[in-house]
Chain A
């Protein structure tokens, strides 16, 4: 059974991430220990909360270099804030350095409006679709998004989104009103990052965990 380390830096609903990983057939361990991350077959970096607090905690845990190495060398999944932490920097209430694995930044929603011009609510809370990007990866084969249809509904809770320097890493986009943002990234073939929460996105979300598990 594949051993996946779920990084606990004191934020978010780790219980649901763990049980999704278990439902997908993995041996899941929630951990604050950098050695566990180093020795695991795969790593999940979850999280909901403030960017700066998250980076501060990861530094205190001695987790930063370990995560950078793991993100480049083994199967790795970043979810929500965990996706954003993989970027170079975030502009969430100031400018904060991230893990710097994927070149690019994290930015606030640029006043999303619907078709009738009404400004949409931020954070985006609820279900929305992940779509294949016009620029970027045009196939989901060989990624955790394979086999769940062309525009699967996923569950989102966020006020910021990633803006990678290169469109080549964009695996999926999502439209919130008239704003289109990258909702999934793929980097180095084994690093996947999602703005949505697969562990809260029903059977299709669990399918993402299962496919990820098959790649480990």
Chain B
């Protein structure tokens, strides 16, 4: 373990709303991202990731306004991804208040873009998002567009390459586990984390506190990005009924149900549980 592992809240965003799906599909509106972000900040999150989950599909980025609002009141690092394709795109989200950017489609299409971006903004600013799907023959393929588009690229080769090209971190999402609550793909995380010299953030699959312990100990992850596990806990605490815009399916939100295989947890509970297995966290 290099140093104190980070517990990161991951907020997938569509238009003005926080959404969540399963395997990044079937997105349901959970609420306003700013509200969740503030809650996680107060609960002790070490960092936030905002992913604009539809930006890449439509070639747009609607996050700027949300980033500005967030960085006015939330004083922890903020990483932003989704649809960033040019140095100018990166500049615009950094100027809005982001500290780092995460990219997938743009760098799969043009790997040298990683070097150009890290030379320009510093390697610690450039995060590469890898969306991995386990295939029936046991190999892993990198996908883009939230697990919709195949690339033919082997995940292990790609991880090494992005580190060599100057990426500062990798967010590794196991799409086949994402949103299921069945746990991380620990084997995948371990193989990647041990093969690259840069931090690896494990994402996708956490359904309970113990899953986080496992991916930190067995999986050698430097950080975890958690969504459902935290969001469902936040929803249970949220009493107000806001006026949500027409965008997306809000029926789920109104029902205030949680997903059966997820045991929601607070960030402090997760950190306490890590301390019990001798992993020290920021308090």
Contact = CB atoms under 8 A, between A and B. Distances in A.
Contact of A200 (B4, B76, B96): B76
Interface string B218-252: 00001000000000000000000000000000000
Contact of B4 (A16, A123, A126, A201): A126
Interface stretch (B13-21, B24-32, B67-75, B202-210): B67-75
Interface residues of A, number: 30
Nearest to A48: B122
A157 interface: yes
Contacts of B72: 19, 22
* SS of B interface (majority): loop
* SS of A interface (majority): mixed
Interface residues of B, number: 32
B75 A201 contact: yes
A128 B3 contact: yes
A116 to B, nearest CB: 9
Contacts of B73: 19, 23
A202 B7 CA distance: 14
Contacts of A176: 3
Interface string A84-123: 0000000000000000000000000000001000101101
B197 A121 contact: yes
A140 to B, nearest CB: 18
Interface in B70-108: 71-73, 75-77, 94-99
With most chain A CB atoms within 10 A of its CB, the pick from B77, B98, B169, B199 is: B77
Contacts of B168: 123, 125
A121 B72 CA distance: 30
Contacts of A206: 75
Given A127-B46, A128-B4, A201-B75, A121 B199 contact: yes
Contacts of B68: 15
A20 interface: yes
Contacts of B158: none
Contacts of B96: 15
B282 A121 contact: no
Contacts of A22: 72
A46 B122 CA distance: 16
A20 B75 contact: yes
With most chain B CB atoms within 10 A of its CB, the pick from A20, A120, A200 is: A200
A16 B75 CA distance: 7
15 contacts: A13-B98, A15-B97, A16-B97, A19-B73, A20-B75, A125-B169, A126-B6, A127-B3, A127-B6, A128-B3, A128-B4, A153-B283, A176-B3, A200-B99, A206-B75
Interface of B: 1-4, 6, 41, 44, 46, 68, 71-73, 75-77, 94-99, 122-124, 168-169, 197-199, 222, 282-283
Given A121-B199, A127-B4, 5 more contacts: A15-B95, A114-B1, A123-B123, A126-B6, A155-B77
